[in-house]
Amino acid sequence: MSEVLEKVETGKLAILSGNEAIARGAWEAGVKVAAAYPGTPSTEIVETLSKYPEVYSEWSVNEKVALEVALGAAISGSRALYASKHVGLNVAADPLFSAAYTGVRAGLVVVTADDPGMHSSQNEQDNRFYALSAKLPLLVPSDSQEAKDMTKLAFKISEDYDIPVLLRSTTRLSHSKAPVTLEDREEVPHKGYEKNPSKYLVLPMYARKRRVDLEERLEALRKFSNSTHLNYVLEGEGEIGVIADGVAFQYAKEVFQGYPILKLGMPYPFPDEKVLEFLRGLKRVYVVEETDPFIEILLRALLQREGLKVEVLGKGLIGERGPVPKYGELSVERLRTHVIAYEKGETSSESSETSSLKHALKYDISELPARPPMLCPGCTHRSVFWYLGKYKNVIITGDIGCYTLGALPPLKAMETCVDMGASITMAHGIEKSLKEKGENKVVVAVIGDSTFYHSGVTGLINAVYNKSKIKVVILDNSITAMTGHQEHPGTGLTAKKEETVKIDLEKLVKAIGVEKVIVVDPYNMEETKRGIAEMIRYDGLAVLIAKRPCPLYIKFNEGAYQVDNDKCIACGLCISLGCPAIYKLEDGKAAINELLCVGCDMCAQICPVDAIHPIGRE
């Protein structure tokens, strides 16, 4: 964004994505420290902030670290921001809960970017519930302007009530662009550090007092939530009303035109008085929200408290099904279809969840040619999977990154993927379990370099300590490729692209106590094959590091290759690499799309008849 943004003067409009707007809001609020671990759809928040010279920004090694860095900055007087994708906040949940107790000093804003519909995530998770369980105020913007304004306000709320503020975005908001009015940066004076162990040290004896204090802060925040302009009514007519938040509010506005709508920009603490005022005269309320029935649960609890009889129609709770889809991303169309179907009493028919999911998938199935996701041409991960997949008696646990695609055909060399870091720990668990059964199977964990620093390293320490014999492959492409090439502790650069120490994976692994460490160049097929065989044969814990930079990042392109059609024997070996640049001709022989080929040479090295050569070098 910043190129656009920097040219735009204060007071003018800029077209910003939700993420850019959050970054801009933080900058205008005088934020001094920003820490994050990348993760779609949140990555651009700190990526954008890192371009502002006034803001210290870092890619932390993982989300727990990022939140603790931000909390440390806040309690010592600098406004600070944390950002992650929804699952990232699970990693940071430990400090999150305690931060509500300690409070902050300067404002601390915790941004969670949820991913309804799982555009690029392993689950759907509604992080508004973190506000409820960690006892934090929650702001939910509906467009880019609100994203900026609410971020600014969040810093103020955080300071006024001495508590971190949770700001929830979703993919649609994070990545859609809309006009935003820009303002100047407010230079907030540094508050400095003040020693206060009874506040910042959560020993039970202090924490118990802070727990009471937290309840008082929440009660004050409930009053704020009842009076803030963030929760407002769009006037309408009739006895049917709507309550909505976030991007779902935009859909509700379209579908329920003319109805009164209560828009909750601050759904937690639940603005009970404002909601009751809104309910006056209403017989039925639709609750339109994305992912889980967060507002719906609170609303029903409120009705129960008041003994009020208003029909609530949302996603439905236990054993119920309402007019709002229970899962998947909403859209105007999807919401409308569901509401109409519900009104017609068709909840269990074709127009129920299943059919609407079919609707959502329609684009994949009928409007675009089917194209399964694949590792890029020249991907350094390919050769490892190609060889690993040939071991039939080996269990391969995986992890999250570009390399998760190694699980798909034709490579099919990964059997599990649960969360970041789980490859090594689960491999260890599988090995121990099978040992109990008397089976000594080789279990191989495959993990990327960024994921290894994030949470693989602790699993490896655990495996060494607990006498594991697992094998670990670290796919070191020297960047966090999956989320768009962010730096990490092994790249030698910071988030601001300043030079820094480059942590040496091989030395690190050896320092942990791994005795067998093999390093290979994954573009060298023979070396990779031998390295994998040696690792698998080894009677003990062994680590293989496949080291070569991501070709997309370094813009590797050695020139395309071609297949000599006369020599090709249609054996299909090169095709089994799963390279998008290689395809099968009608006669079964191979051909290479020279626009895609980057000349990694893997296919040429495995061709049994030497039929593949660089173009112009037959």
Ligand X SMILES: Cc1ncc(C[n+]2csc(CCOP(=O)(O)OP(=O)(O)O)c2C)c(N)n1
- Residues at the interface with ligand X (CB under 6 A): 37-39, 63, 85, 87-88, 91, 400-403, 420, 448-451, 475, 477, 479-483
Nearer to ligand X, 355 or 416 (CB): 416
Which ranges in 201-325 belong to alpha helices (H)? Answer: 204-227, 246-255, 272-279, 294-306
Minimum gap (Å) between residue 580 Cβ and ligand X = 16
Nearer to ligand X, 59 or 268 (CB): 59
Nearer to ligand X, 17 or 112 (CB): 112
Nearer to ligand X, 395 or 400 (CB): 400
Q: Are 68 and 202 in contact (CB under 8 A)?
A: no
| Partner residues linked to 231 by β-bridges | 264
Nearer to ligand X, 38 or 459 (CB): 38
Minimum gap (Å) between residue 85 Cβ and ligand X = 6
Minimum gap (Å) between residue 448 Cβ and ligand X = 2
Max Cα-Cα span within the chain = 84
Q: Are 245 and 168 in contact (CB under 8 A)?
A: no
Radius of gyration of the chain (CA): 27
Contacts of 115 (CB under 8 A, 6+ apart): 40, 41, 85, 86, 121, 124, 125, 170, 171
Nearer to ligand X, 87 or 96 (CB): 87
Nearer to ligand X, 66 or 157 (CB): 66
Residue least distant from ligand X (Cβ): 448
Contacts of 41 (CB under 8 A, 6+ apart): 19, 85, 113, 115, 119, 120, 169, 170, 171, 174, 175
Minimum gap (Å) between residue 512 Cβ and ligand X = 18
- What does the DSSP assignment read for 430-477? HHHHHHHTT---EEEEEEEHHHIIIIIHHHHHHHHHTT---EEEEEE-
Element (DSSP H or E) covering residue 34: strand 33-36
Nearer to ligand X, 188 or 379 (CB): 379
Q: Are 84 and 112 in contact (CB under 8 A)?
A: yes
Nearer to ligand X, 30 or 88 (CB): 88
Minimum gap (Å) between residue 39 Cβ and ligand X = 3
Residue 400 neighbours by CB distance under 10 Å: 23
Minimum gap (Å) between residue 569 Cβ and ligand X = 33
Minimum gap (Å) between residue 555 Cβ and ligand X = 16
Nearer to ligand X, 262 or 400 (CB): 400
- What does the DSSP assignment read for 343-395? HTT-TTSTTSHHHHHHHHHHIIIIIS------PPTT-TTHHHHHHHTT-TTEE
> CA–CA separation, 135 vs 235, rounded Å?
31
Minimum gap (Å) between residue 455 Cβ and ligand X = 8
Its sign, for the CA torsion 318, 320, 324, 328, is: positive
Minimum gap (Å) between residue 345 Cβ and ligand X = 40
Using alpha carbons, list the distances in angstroms from residue 459 to 211, 402, 427, 454.
33, 20, 10, 10
Nearer to ligand X, 121 or 468 (CB): 121
Minimum gap (Å) between residue 520 Cβ and ligand X = 16
Minimum gap (Å) between residue 552 Cβ and ligand X = 10
* 480 secondary structure, DSSP code: B
Minimum gap (Å) between residue 441 Cβ and ligand X = 25
Q: Are 173 and 290 in contact (CB under 8 A)?
A: no
Nearer to ligand X, 38 or 241 (CB): 38
- What does the DSSP assignment read for 52-97? -TTSEEEE-SSHHHHHHHHHHHHHTT--EEEEEEHHHHHHTHHHHH
Using alpha carbons, list the distances in angstroms from residue 104 to 57, 71, 94, 150.
19, 7, 16, 18
Q: Are 407 and 415 in contact (CB under 8 A)?
A: yes
Q: Are 500 and 493 in contact (CB under 8 A)?
A: yes
Nearer to ligand X, 111 or 303 (CB): 111
Query: Backbone dihedral region of 304: left (phi > 0), alpha (psi from -120 to 50 degrees) or beta?
Result: alpha
> CA–CA separation, 264 vs 230, rounded Å?
7
Minimum gap (Å) between residue 429 Cβ and ligand X = 19
